[in-house]
Amino acid sequence: MFDIDEKSRMPIYEQITENVKRLIIQGVLLPEEKLPSVRSLAQELTINPNTIQKAYRELEREGYVISRPGKGSFVNDMTETMNREHIKTLTDEVESLIKELVFLDVPGVNLKELIDKAEREKEGHK
């Protein structure tokens, strides 16, 4: 379920948080689904339980997980958060492409025309 690369420069707790986020975004882990307990996941991955706990705390801080005392950690309903994450990812990609196009001397007017065209097409589909 979790891909942990012990040779990676990324800390193990970050690998766990990224794995859980990916599984939530892909719909593998569903809202209100219980995550494995800290102890069981630590045994499964043969890593320190404190590492799992740190990952779960980070996921809770970011809103991906809800902790229920005495019951465990559960996947939060991430619809709004996933939309924000997806928008940020796409925005970063667009920004990178725009920088490349500007570097290649494509006039800003042409880029604006692309945006206007996309907006017109969207309006036409309503």
Q: Which residue ranges make up each domain of the chain? A: 12-75, 84-124
Distance CA 86, CA 80 (A): 10
Helix, strand, or coil (residue 96): helix
Residue 9 has pLDDT above 90, yes or no: yes
The model carries a pTM of 0.64
The class (CATH top level) of 12-75 is mainly alpha
**Residue 18 burial class via C-beta count within 10 angstroms: exposed 0-12, middle 13-18, buried 19 and up:** middle
Range 105-117 burial, b when 16+ CB lie within 10 A, else e: eeeeeeeeeeeee
Strand partners, 34: 74
The whole-number pLDDT of residue 1 equals: 73
pLDDT band at 125 (very low <50, low <70, confident <90, very high): low
- pLDDT tens per residue, range 78-110: 777 767 777 888 899 999 999 999 999 999 999
H-assigned helices in the chain: 12-25, 38-45, 49-61, 79-103, 108-124
- pLDDT tens per residue, range 19-35: 999 898 788 999 999 99
Residues belonging to the chain? 126
Cβ atoms within 10 Å of 20's Cβ, excluding its own: 24
